[in-house]
A and B are shown apart, each in its own frame.
Chain A
Amino acid sequence: MTITNDLAADAVAPAPADDSRGRKGGGALGRYLLVRFLLIFPTVFILVTVVFVLMRATGDPITAALGGRLPPEQLHERIHQAGYDRPILVQYLDYLGRIVRGDFGTTLSDHLPVTKVLTTYGAATLELALYALVVAFLVGIPLGRIAAARRDRLPDAGLRIAAILGYATPVFFAGLLLKLIFSVWLGWLPPNGRASTRDLITMKTHGARTGIYLIDAISTGKWSVVADVLQHAVMPALALGLLTAGVFLRLVRTNMISTLQTGYVEAARSRGVAERRLVRAHAWRPALVPIITVIGLQIAMLLGGAVLTETTFEWKGLGFQLVQYLNARDFVAVQGMVALLAVIVAVTNFIVDVIAALVDPRIRY
């Protein structure tokens, strides 16, 4: 006999024994959200610290960037000016203090504040990430549901193999293949960049400068510009999007299979609810909660993929820029950008958890 943990035994007569449970629910959600929000700060703090410790473990950034290229006295002078000869703990506290004020440092190579790098190149990365997410959602989620519903039959087998292949193909190799086929052999699509120079100038002269080219192109009112921007976006969006779609497909499939086997889906089946409806409503909603949580993590992972995609297609966003700084051995820039990305990741995950809480009534009430 199972002894459940249910502390509320039934009242003798069917009285509303737990009426109060529903009422006080709003406070529980509020507290959950507050706790979840406060968790952003230690997360950012830890990531920033990890990055600081890692980056400074081997020495100071000025020696890394300029060591051997400057005479020792000048090098020491530069190090002293930048304060890298102070005790490491002082530097760490100073660094934390700056981050709290929103100062993520200034790049060594081109003397730009890191926040300025973000505002300049962030829009490009955001645009790429949004395209990729659209592709991933449109492809991954419906196909994942089909695979789960048709489990172990032909469509499932095909989709699983496609998803594993998608996972096994590095995004830059997929990008190279796309380029080879559609740009070099077929000549249908431009191989690199975000827009052709002529249309770039058209957009600039029209003054619209959101940095998201699709919006800028539409605001010019010229269809040729929009078409050009979209043509440039197709391959990067597919390369990054299909990779993510494979992950979504597997995620949706696994979670749907486990909810399709639960007692409540069995119970709904026993009342004659159609299989289609079981998949679309009864199994889908409960599966959604873990799916949303993992999708949140995937959005962060998308940033890693964006670095590779941007490098492959010379898509001038944050990732492309990060690699430029890396090659210039500008570790102040790298440290600042990574710290900034940590903030973005922490905030994204918070938003995702809020969405998950809104979908799951067990958290909501």
Chain B
Amino acid sequence: MTAEDPVVDVRDLHVTFATDGGDVRAVRGVSLRVEPGEVLAIVGESGSGKTVTARSIIGLLPETATTTGAVVLRRNTDTGASDVLALSPSALRQVRGRDAAMVFQEPSTALNPVFPVGWQIAEGLRAHTGLSRAEAHQAAVDVLRRVGIPDPEARAKYYPHQFSGGQKQRIVIAQALVLDPGLVIADEPTTALDVTVQAEILELLRRLPNEFGTSVVLITHNMGVVADLADTVAVMYDGEIVEQADVRTLFSAPKHPYTRALLDAVPRVGASRRAALATPRAAAPDAAPVVEAKGLTITYPGRLRTAGFTAVDHVDFAIAPGEVLGLVGESGSGKTTIGRAIAGLTPVTGGSLSVLGTQVRGISERRKRPIRRRIGFVFQDPATSFNPLLTIAQCVAEPLVVHGVAGDAREARGKVDELLKAVQLDRTYGDRFPHELSGGQRQRASLARALALDPELLIADEPTSALDVSVQAKVLELFVRMQEELGFACLFISHDLAVVDLVADRIAVLHHGKLVEEGDPAQVLDSPRDPYTQRLLASLPVPDPDEQAERREAWRTLTGVSANVS
């Protein structure tokens, strides 16, 4: 064995799960090699088997799984290697953390809420080495410093809830690095994070091979993240690797049709800008706006004399009839609150908000009804926005029944079938229950329900963020076509600049409850004036390795991070 041997060599791996619906063959004949210092990205959509493949490298599969094949992992202690799938439980325990360690998707669930973070890092060390409590604690402080936690001596004694999301993910990475493993497996390490935080974590992950001498297996669905980090890429679909290539080859000349379809589906800023393509659709400028906010302020009351939380702070904007306003911001920016306030789900506490000509501040539930008839709403998570006990047809018929257009769901069925057809769902789907539809189908049905009463205004709150990218593309396309046909005005809320760019006539950027920039997409996205918008744009990884390398430099300049920071 020499240093040139792969860090991990997966040979013909098969993983089968026992489920209520019978056996599921999650991974079928996967072979992979990760060389020393290499970053291998495994990409695929939900259910492709990418996470299962990665977890089998450290034998972290539930007991319902049966595996065949071999996962040969190089040992960190000598130059040998061991087949993880054939190890005894105690030998497997030795391998975990020492030879390969894992970074999890959701940092808030990967950290134990009742122990200080330093203790948690030290636990991994003490499981493998004979270090004393004090020595292990010192090692934990050191690794915290190396992943960029300021004042690590003091903060090692802090509990997880005292850190922000990005810092928690740094701590999770520190936990993985503390034993100097040969391989770090990062399972969607930035999916739970905002895009500006994601950029920082990606910067940290990039330093791993050089500064920590580890190889990385990166699991992700985000092609931008792949372009940013990976050396080689394996594309998984339905439990198999359909294509494997180095990152430049894969992005410039994808061979497999699935890879091509996947890359085509990724939205890119400026690629197919709607505002530039379409003829101006907004009505005459003197037409009364559908929504007009002046100094809009929304404060959530505090409890027991604590100060309230101001989610929206003196925001002015207007939506003209037939216009699509894209509202962009990160979590906590107040974008969802604005959508909910327009729909009357959250009370307005300051300023004025006029919807379809009615002032909604302080309005009674009864007087909201006529406004709601003229508004449609599409929710973020299609899995929860349908009553699980009603059929799709009953759900779509609900607005018709409530507003007396039809007596009951049966009577409304003709109209429901028309609506389903309009969103490209077969009428037989109407008889199914929500859980019997896929995410994309549910979100189309959700659009059908929102459009049932032919609304003048549609509020779409992150309508595609729970969907896989290929499904997202299809739903967005449908949305654009419906909007052109029906001409409703729309508030389109999203955290994804590229998605908003695809659909919006105008873009407004929110940051901590304040509107920082507003304008047409070309102006906001191509030459942003506000520093926050600039940072947001620079943080967004693009699915092109060369372009992303340039953007990364721009991001470093903008945020003052030096490229060879240690």
Q: Do the two chains touch directly in the complex (Cβ atoms below 8 Å apart)?
A: yes
Interface residues of A (CB under 8 A from B): 1-10, 12-18, 21-22, 31, 35, 262-275, 277, 281-282, 285-286, 288-289, 359-362, 365
Bound form: Cα–Cα A17–B466 in Å: 29
Q: A31-B304, A35-B304 are in contact. Are A272 and B110 (CB under 8 A)?
A: no
Most A CB contacts (10 A, CB to CB) among B96, B149, B466 go to B96
Bound form: Cα–Cα A273–B166 in Å: 25
Residue B194 interfacial (CB < 8 Å): yes
The residue on B at minimum CB distance from A264 is B112
Contact pattern, B 514-549, Cβ under 8 Å of A = 1, otherwise 0: 000000000000000000000100000000000000
Contact of B102 among A4, A7, A270, A288 (CB under 8 A): A270
CB distance from A302 to the nearest CB of B (A): 27
Bound form: Cα–Cα A285–B94 in Å: 24
CB distance from B462 to the nearest CB of A (A): 7
In the complex, what residues of A have CB within 8 A of residue B179's CB? Answer: 271
CB distance from B349 to the nearest CB of A (A): 18
Query: Chain B interface residue count: which class?
Result: 35 or more
Residue B170 interfacial (CB < 8 Å): yes
Most B CB contacts (10 A, CB to CB) among A18, A270, A288 go to A270
Q: Is there contact, CB below 8 Å, between B60 and A269?
A: yes
In the complex, what residues of A have CB within 8 A of residue B176's CB? Answer: 271
Bound form: Cα–Cα A10–B495 in Å: 16
Residue B128 interfacial (CB < 8 Å): yes
Q: A3-B462, A263-B109, A361-B114 are in contact. Are A13 and B162 (CB under 8 A)?
A: no
Contact of A362 among B161, B170, B304, B560 (CB under 8 A): B161
Add 8 more A-B contacts to A1-B192, A6-B164 (CB < 8 A). Answer: A3-B336, A9-B330, A10-B167, A13-B560, A14-B170, A17-B167, A268-B123, A281-B115
The residue on B at minimum CB distance from A2 is B192
The residue on A at minimum CB distance from B511 is A9
Bound form: Cα–Cα A9–B199 in Å: 12
Contact of B112 among A31, A268, A289 (CB under 8 A): A268
Lowest 3 A-B CB distances belong to which pairs? A10-B166, A263-B109, A271-B97
Bound form: Cα–Cα A117–B552 in Å: 79
In the complex, what residues of B have CB within 8 A of residue A6's CB? Answer: 108, 164-165, 331-332
Q: Is there contact, CB below 8 Å, between B331 and A271?
A: no
CB distance from B335 to the nearest CB of A (A): 10
Interface residues of B (CB under 8 A from A): 58, 60, 93-98, 101-102, 104, 106, 108-115, 120, 123-124, 127-128, 148-151, 158-159, 161-167, 170, 172, 175-176, 179, 191-194, 196-197, 200, 304, 309, 330-332, 336, 380, 462, 465-466, 495, 535, 559-561
Bound form: Cα–Cα A320–B266 in Å: 76
CB distance from B558 to the nearest CB of A (A): 9
Bound form: Cα–Cα A284–B101 in Å: 23
Q: Is there contact, CB below 8 Å, between B150 and A14?
A: yes
Q: Is there contact, CB below 8 Å, between B162 and A14?
A: no
Contact of A21 among B162, B191, B194, B465 (CB under 8 A): B162
The residue on B at minimum CB distance from A21 is B162
Q: Is there contact, CB below 8 Å, between B561 and A4?
A: no
Q: Is there contact, CB below 8 Å, between B535 and A12?
A: yes
In the complex, what residues of A have CB within 8 A of residue B96's CB? Answer: 269-272
Bound form: Cα–Cα A302–B476 in Å: 61
